[in-house]
Structure 1
Amino acid sequence: MRCLQERNVERKWKRREGSEGPRVFKEFSPDMKMLVNHLYQHGYFKDANFLRRGELDFSCFYDSYGRDYIKYAAEKFGQDQQEIAKWLSGSDLKKLALFGCPSLTKKNVFSAKRLRNYFEIKEDTVCGKCVLKDSCKFVNQSVWKGDYKTLNLAVVMRVITLYALEEVHPELPVPDEIKASVSRLLNEVLKLSETIS
């Protein structure tokens, strides 16, 4: 019942914002279910008021409110577990960095750019072949201040969670190779989290 109430609030908010109404989301992949279970078991949903009696119910994630909370929880997990970043597969991360940005929202574009900067990949190498370049406000732009020589796990989690949730820009076809890298990275993160904790 509570999930239904949350979805109704979300629909009203979307209409007020001028969007086209609620989006239809795909069912979670096994990797995504594993990530959500892990986040739930480690307390990252303790403040999620949309879970009935605090119990994990995947039907609560069939709207953008629940999906946004997953992205928030994954990013928070990345902030708390930064030490995991140094053990992640560099080849899979570099494939993601070379592929481009999962969406055109500023935060997501900047996360992808930060990942490229970590691998010292020039912006025009990626932006030049990107199918979204005509719609992007940040094509070929570097947006750096501070130290970006350290791989930031919160940034990694933001990027891979978007791919795992299949919340990429509709015009961006994601090759199987990138999906496989995302899957491997999610599995690595969760295994490392258990060994480091």
Structure 2
Amino acid sequence: MSASKLLLAGTGLLRVHKDLTFLPLIPLPKPSFSQSIRFRGVCSSVAVESVAADNSELSQQLPPLLHPWPEWVTFVDRLKTNGYLIESPVKEDGTDGAGDFIYREMNLLKDPCLSFARDRYDLFNSLSSEDIQAVVEVGCPNILRKVVNSAKRLRAHLELEEGDVCGSCNLRGSCDRAYVVPKDSEPPRTVDVVRLLMFYAMDPLVISGGEKPPSRELAESCVRKLISKLVELSESTPSPPPPKQTARAPLPEKKAVENFSDNVSNDIKMQSGDWTCTNCNFLNFKKNRQCLKCRVDRPVNVGVQMKDGDWVCSKCNFVNFARNRRCRECSADGPVREGDNVEMKNGDWNCLQCNFMNFARNKMCKSCRAPRPVRQLNPGEWECPSCDFLNFRKNEACRKCKSKRPRQDEREYEEQLWRSPY
């Protein structure tokens, strides 16, 4: 206040003596201590605002963080170089369409990573088994089906106990395949390793730098080693693909018949009765009478184990059992034989229409469903009405089911006894 009053007084004196030609200059008092502090405070606030503005401009000029792992950035750049990852078109302002977020975008990196892994299937044997074991022995990065299957294939290849790994995994409570051991699993491939590395790199905890379980530190360090190894191996020339299996040349007819099992391709499972054409080596089903490829008739007795009495139809080459009087395929008559080698038991009968031999219990022919003909019984013999068993005349009860003899048969038996001269 004193300084302001003096300042006003000085100006008043100047106004009163404005007609004077010369007035001595009155020295103004210096600003007080409070005014200097206030001035300095204003200057410091302006300086802070200018520094903050400079920092914001500098942060806008610096590129954002691509990914916490430099190995992953190098791997993605290698995918771009090799043509697996197609960059987005440049916008009007000169920036990339996808930007630097492509290193953290799963939808853009999934297909290129897996395509690279499928093309470089030869890199699996060059990766460190110790690093792969350190990655898969702590569990799976998530519970997605393909990720879990890839981890299980790798653990089976490394001969790790699936139960021990699932027991220590933090996701076992929500995983529907926990403690499941794969049966006859496929051999591991490079795509299984790359799939796990990709999901580890795309983990939100890795990108955001959040807190992670202690067991993840060793696994993540091995993941980064494997990514670096893939980048190094990607510079090598891919191995040539394995040779494809070529068709075998047709063998001579006699050799094809004798060495039947040698002509069949190893990757085709033959069933009983299937046969190989002697002309073109084509594998045919049992039901084929002619080769489906070259129309040559099926050879006789090829690939079929015939027992004593079995016969081959002369019309269709169908193999019939010994009891068949006619061919089961074309109903042609069987060959005429001097002696019947088929042992027929008591009660068995031959059908009058198809000559099929039926068992005693069959009331209808098993082949043509014709009714069983009336048996020609010896005097006194009788058929059991319950089980159709043929009994001798001396049997008062059925020898098979113990049923009593019918009364009509008893009367005929008594008449035969009365008429008997003995």
Q: Give the alignment's TM-score, normalised by structure 1.
A: 0.73
Q: Is the 8 A contact 1:98 1:126 kept in 2?
A: yes
CA deviation profile, 1:87-108 (whole Å, cap 9, x unmatched): 1111001111211101011111
**1:52 aligns to what SS in structure 2?**
coil
Partner of 1:187 in structure 2? 228
Q: Which has the larger radius of gyration?
A: 2
1:80 to 112, 119, 124: 119
CA deviation profile, 1:18-47 (whole Å, cap 9, x unmatched): xxxxxxxx951211111110111111113x
Q: Percent identity?
A: 26
From the superposition, tell whether residues 172 and 125 of structure 1 become closer, same or farther in structure 2 (CA, over 3 Å): farther
Tell me if 1:32 matches 2:72. yes
CA distance in 1: counterparts of 2:97 and 2:232, whole angstroms = 21
Shift of 1:71: 2.2
Superposition map of 1:13-24 within 5 A: none
Shift of 1:58: 4.2
CA distance in 1: counterparts of 2:118 and 2:205, whole angstroms = 23
Partner of 1:16 in structure 2? none
Shift of 1:172: 6.7
CA distance in 1: counterparts of 2:211 and 2:149, whole angstroms = 19
CA distance in 1: counterparts of 2:164 and 2:237, whole angstroms = 36
From the superposition, tell whether residues 56 and 182 of structure 1 become closer, same or farther in structure 2 (CA, over 3 Å): farther
AA aligned to 1:178 is: A
Superposition map of 1:152-167 within 5 A: 152-167=189-204
Q: Is the 8 A contact 1:96 1:178 kept in 2?
A: yes
Shift of 1:177: 1.1
CA distance in 2: counterparts of 1:57 and 1:33, whole angstroms = 15
**1:194 aligns to what SS in structure 2?**
coil
Shift of 1:168: 7.3
AA aligned to 2:199 is: L
Q: Is the 8 A contact 2:71 2:227 kept in 1?
A: yes
CA distance in 1: counterparts of 2:82 and 2:124, whole angstroms = 18
Superposition map of 1:1-150 within 5 A: 27-28=66-67, 29-46=69-86, 51-53=88-90, 57-61=98-102, 66-148=105-187
From the superposition, tell whether residues 60 and 144 of structure 1 become closer, same or farther in structure 2 (CA, over 3 Å): farther
Higher relative contact order (CA 8 A, sep 6+): 1
**1:188 aligns to what SS in structure 2?**
helix
Shift of 1:61: 2.5
More helix by share: 1
From the superposition, tell whether residues 142 and 171 of structure 1 become closer, same or farther in structure 2 (CA, over 3 Å): farther
Q: Is the 8 A contact 1:31 1:164 kept in 2?
A: no
Runs of 4+ in 1 over 4 A off after TM superposition: 55-58, 167-172
Q: Is the 8 A contact 2:118 2:191 kept in 1?
A: yes
AA aligned to 2:197 is: I
CA distance in 2: counterparts of 1:145 and 1:81, whole angstroms = 24
CA distance in 2: counterparts of 1:99 and 1:115, whole angstroms = 12
**2:165 aligns to what SS in structure 1?**
helix
From the superposition, tell whether residues 59 and 33 of structure 1 become closer, same or farther in structure 2 (CA, over 3 Å): same
1:175 to 209, 216, 234: 216
From the superposition, tell whether residues 192 and 56 of structure 1 become closer, same or farther in structure 2 (CA, over 3 Å): farther
Q: Is the 8 A contact 1:132 1:172 kept in 2?
A: no
Q: How many residues end up aligned between the 2 structures?
A: 165
